[in-house]
Structure 1
Amino acid sequence: MDTGASGKREAAGMHAAGGGAVGNATVGLEISQWKYLSTEAREPQMHAILTVGADGTANGGGAGPVLAQVLAVDCSSSMAYPQEKLRAAHQAAVAALRMLPDGTPFAVVRGTQSAAMVYPQTETMARADARRRAEAEQAVHRLIAGGGTCIGSWLDLSRRLLTEQDAPIGHVLLLTDGKNQHDELMPLSDVLEACAGRFVCDAWGIGDGWDGRELLRITSRLHGEASSVREEAALAGEYEQLMHRLLAKSVPELVISVTPMAGAGVRYLKQVFPAEVELAPDDAGRDDGTQRFVTRAWGDETRRYQLCLSADPTGRPRGEDLQLAVVALEVPGGEGVRLSPPQPCVVHWTDDPALSRHTDVQVVHFEQHQRLGEAVAAATDAHRRGERDLAEHHLGRAVHLAHAIDAAQSLDRLEQLVEIVDAAAGRVRLRPGVAAVDFEHLITASSHSTYGPGSGSADGVDLLGPAAATVRCPACDGKAPAGARFCPLCGHRLQDRP
């Protein structure tokens, strides 16, 4: 079989994706990999990057609302100091409410050491119209701060509310200024297990007392993104950008299935762009070993995933391409959606170290981004222990990696903590007066990856043409896939489509 160009060919309709309620939509799939593996490797693993692109999902829709929205607002005591925090939370929630289309199920939840309904007052969701939006705004402006923080209770109430709705996409927008200090009242780990697969959650940090890794734990498990604001006044605008992206989504889920061949196994599949998201195979495994991974809430967008396969050269021929696995896409209920055909992941067993020592350029990019996040985490821990020199060392490593992968937004965040002397060499000086919250902002920023190189050979040559092109976002200077309607890093509207 001639699959040497596997992962280098142009996927039909790369800026494509599908939707169950949307006609004339397309889902495109492409695999990028370096196929050569050493027969001498102790535990051979094949890594590949899957690019899934969606197009046509925002051009129409089925009957009824697509989105059901819960706004969970932290009202713990710390939100009252300074008063600008609670005022910003009011303004952001109101901005989101005003954007909800008529008929959208919505609710506002007050979060302290427990969760309580703000609007409507009973444990149900209202349908948006002019009167209910105005009533909800008034209820939001009456919110006062007082109490502790148990994020698990906020998510649990959100789950119960969304379970009763028939809108295909459930979403929770969570805002907090503190740590999950009352976790024992409703352990977050248990709640996340109960909520996984039920809705998408985006979480925002405000103020100076929240925990970035805790937000990432929530959003990674619930297929969302973690963000933060340094200036309270910026929150309303950020909520508006997020709502623009949410309202463009019309596909509740898209399934990536991986079928390994004899002698191979699926180790993991994870989302690596635009943000890191955990993916676990569903329970509906098939006799042929196929594992199905459900991804949530799609609009017109492109995402990338890292696939890791185990492989065994025992008894396998050398010097030829062998199919290692087959990757396919499925849009449940998406009749009429055009799907890219299944794509092979191949292996070529070799004794030549000049071939086996190379790695695919996209795999390298996202593994470097993972190391960037690890360096930021290590710097945060060192700073908490008062080890400034060690924190500076890890931040230098983070700068070096961010420079290598052209992560402009991460470099901007890093430069707020360090003076960059030589980015390529990772030489930095920690700025005086750096506070603990500066590291929390950095943690959330490091979870947002850059698009990375187009598919090509190990030297980075782009063989895909326009499908793999990128454009610069004028708002954040990050890279976005050419043809994207919104920047995947900051949500800025890039273009309008007919």
Structure 2
Amino acid sequence: MAETGAPRAGGTAGQVTVGLEVSQWKYLSGEESDPRMHAVLSVRVDGTEGGGPVLAQVLALDCSGSMTWPPEKLHAAQEAAVAAIRALPDGTPFAVVRGNEQGTMAYPGTATMARASDTTRKRAERVVHGLVAGGGTCIGAWLDLARRLLTEQGAPVGHVLLLTDGKNEHDEQMPLAGVLEECAGRFVCDAWGIGDGWDARELLAVTRRLHGSASSVREEAALPVEYEKLVSGLLTKTVPELAISVTPMPGAEVRYLKQVFPTEVELTPEEGTERFVTRAWGDETRRYQLCLCADPAGRPRREDLQLAVVAVDVPGAQEARLPAPQPCLVHWTDNPALSRHTDAQVEHFEQHQRLGEAVAAATDAHRRGERDLAEHQLGRAAQLAEAMGATEQLDRLARLVRIDDASAGRVALRPDVTAVDFEHLIAASSHSSYGPASGTGTGGGTGTGGGSAAGFTAAPGSGRATVPCPGCSHKAPAAARFCPSCGHPFEALP
């Protein structure tokens, strides 16, 4: 399904500058049955600070029966919503949705949005503090009401801040999958879990489709501060959209493009194109993994070939300074010493994906009562986090296991670990670390100003790559003389 964008009028700062870098290892074996070229695109946006806020905010607050106990939970949710409302600048459209098995208006009282002012903020605070919990949970109904509110408002950056403490138990009343298809491309949604009954993968299904992030709090009292920080960050988002276009050469095909940093986000191309629209930018860097496939039959060997061209644009930004389009290259080779390498950035984010898969497998095993298997999978996650140098992930894992030797994956499941500990870990694992320095792979480039798409050249070079150790299979820098894990000597890179 094509993602139809929010209205593009207004909001973009006067002089936005966009940078684009491509990091890849260009050498592929022509003997593979399905050769794929992976690259990481780093996109940087600067100069948005003078654009002024363009936000329209919907707060979707879980008011199902489970929010009544312990009482601190509903109180923390109310205080968080109030903190978010107080942070909204004058004139910002906003609304509060009361969520249970239905989505109903809490403030304003009709299906419309108020404009933030001293008066409307105080009225909304009184309504939020008076909310009473009861009923079930149907997240699809909450998002559908938010969609209708934001569609009527037509703000450049529509945002939904969703909070829940439970599972989507009344999905049959308004199936979430269908609602997400209707909402995709119309607003950004960040979702938070609170308490001990929420499902991290349900929240991730929402946020990955709606270009947001899933988070959680272990202590209810921490929620208001987290909401304040999140809204402060939202107010810096003054570029509603940025589009990434991938033009494959004849014989090549785009398999996927997905955001991998700072969080994992699904990207769907506009219908009939390879143009992917991303949402709500401030001054920030995001990274995307691009997968291309091509048939080497009949193609020249031992020379660089252009496999695709990547370009970015900012719809509606008349004065944006855009980078020159960048090439993705392929070099078909019969030399396994070249084709067995992997770009360091690609390897980093593929390791992060494997870490998330290990955490999910551990969660499923724990739900089935298979503690030994859960421990094994968490050991695998610790091993991956250690290899990546991901200290935050190791710290999170240490809440569930005692880590005896991270590099060997030797861990022991803590006796007091609970089901919700795994949900916190899944949500946190969707936030990736930055990874290796960008722009170091062969075929990479940086564009920070305007320029023509003509006359591509690619400087030769080895790039920054990783190689599997023949002794222990751990990845190591291609230029290393010895494996940093087991000490096995490496052959010199040709």
Q: Is the TM-score greater than 0.5?
A: yes
Give the 3-state SS of the residue equivalent to 2:364 in structure 1. Answer: helix
- Identical aligned pairs, as a percentage? 73
Look up the equivalent residue of 2:323 and give its one-letter code.
Answer: S
Quick check: 1:357 aligned with 2:348? no
1:85-484 matched pairs, under 5 angstroms:
85-285=73-273, 291-455=274-438
- Which residue in 2 is equivalent to 1:32? 23
Return the offset for 1:411. Answer: 1.4
**Equivalents in 2 of 1:368, 1:463: separation in Å?**
25
- How far apart are the structure 2 equivalents of 1:458 and 1:303? 17
What is the deviation of 1:408? 2.3
CA distance in structure 1 between the aligned counterparts of 2:254 and 2:446, rounded to whole angstroms? 27
Structure-2 separation of matches of 1:306 and 1:131: 46
Q: Secondary structure at the match of 1:339?
A: coil
Mapped partners of 2:175, 2:446: distance in 1: 49
TM-score with structure 2 setting the length: 0.87
SS at match of 1:181: coil
Distance 1:356 1:455 in 2: 21
> Which string of whole-angstrom CA distances, capped at 9 and with x for unpartnered residues, describes residues 25-82 of structure 1?
1000000000000111111100000000111111334xxx500000000000000000
Secondary structure of 2:50's aligned partner: coil
Q: Is the 8 A contact 2:249 2:308 kept in 1?
A: yes
The alpha-carbon deviation at position 409 of structure 1 amounts to 2.2
Please state how far the C-alpha of 1:166 moved relative to its aligned partner. Answer: 2.7
Partner SS, residue 191 of structure 2? strand
Q: Which one-letter code corresponds to 2:255 in the other structure?
A: R
Look up the equivalent residue of 1:185 and give its one-letter code: Q
| Structure 1 length-normalised TM | 0.86
Counterpart AA for 2:240: P
For 1:405 and 1:82, how far apart are their aligned partners in 2? 39
Matched with 1:7 is none
Residue in structure 1 matched with residue 50 of structure 2 by the alignment = 59
How many Å separate the matches in 1 of 2:176 and 2:51? Answer: 37
Shift, 1:457, TM fit: 5.8
Q: What SS does the corresponding residue of 2:311 show, helix, strand or coil? A: strand
Q: Is the 8 A contact 1:323 1:346 kept in 2?
A: yes
Residue of structure 1 in register with 2:479 after alignment:
none
Supply the distance in 2 between the matched residues of 1:319 and 1:453 (Cα, whole angstroms).
28
- CA offset at residue 312 of structure 1? 1.0
Gaps in structure 1 of 5+ consecutive residues: 1-18, 286-290, 469-498
Q: Say which SS state the counterpart of residue 359 (structure 2) adopts.
A: helix
Distance in 2 between residues matched to 1:175 and 1:206, nearest whole Å: 7
Q: Report the alpha carbon displacement of residue 403 of structure 1 after superposing the two structures with TM.
A: 1.5
The amino acid that maps onto 2:303 is: E
The one-character-per-residue Cα deviations of 1:141-175 (angstroms, maximum 9, x if unpaired) are 00111000000000000000000113100000000
Shift of 1:21: 2.1
Deviation at 1:284, TM superposition (A): 4.9
Using the alignment, how far apart are the partners of 2:330 and 2:262 within structure 1?
28
C-alpha deviation, 1:436, in angstroms: 0.3
Distance 2:439 2:287 in 1: 15
1:456–1:344: structure 2 CA closer, same or farther, 3 Å change rule?
Answer: closer
Contact kept? 1:409, 1:445, Cα under 8 Å: no
CA distance in 2 between partners of 1:391 and 1:71 (Å) = 36
Residue 314 of structure 1 and its aligned partner are, at CA, apart by 1.1
Task: Report the secondary structure of 1:382's partner residue.
Answer: helix
Alpha carbons 1:123, 1:161 under 8 Å: kept: yes
SS of 2:144 mapped into structure 1: helix
Specify the code of the residue in structure 1 equivalent to 2:12: A
Contact 1:20–1:337 under 8 Å retained in 2: no
CA distance in 2, matches of 1:157, 1:455: 41
Deviation at 1:416, TM superposition (A): 0.4
Displacement after TM superposition at 1:140 (Å): 0.2
Q: Which runs of 5+ in 2 are unaligned?
A: 1-9, 448-463, 465-494
In 1: Cα distance, 2:309 partner to 2:441 partner: 22
Residue in structure 2 matched with residue 49 of structure 1 by the alignment: 40
Shift of residue 363, structure 1, vs aligned partner: 0.3
TM superposition shift of 1:431? 0.3
Q: Conserved in 2, the CA contact under 8 Å of 1:39 and 1:349?
A: yes
Q: How far did 1:458 drift?
A: 7.5
Distance change in 2, residues 1:182/1:80 (3 Å):
same
Deviation at 1:399, TM superposition (A): 0.7
CA distance in 1, matches of 2:439, 2:59: 43
Q: Distance in 2 between matches of 1:87 and 1:284?
A: 48
**Matched residue type, 1:196:** A
Q: Is the contact made by 1:318 and 1:348 (CA closer than 8 Å) also made in structure 2?
A: yes
Q: 1:434 to 1:364 in 2, by over 3 A?
A: same
Deviation readout 1:311-364 (Å, 9 max, x if unpaired): 111111111111000000011011111001100000011110000000100000
C-alpha distance in 1 between matches for 2:193 and 2:74: 13
- Matched residues in 1 for 2:94 and 2:441: separation? 49
Partners of 2:240 and 2:175 in 1: how far apart? 28
- Measured in 1, the distance between the counterparts of 2:446 and 2:157 equals 36
d(CA) in 2 for partners of 1:118, 1:321: 60
Describe the superposition over 1:238-262 as per-residue Cα deviations: whole angstroms up to 9, x where unpaired: 1011111100000111000000001
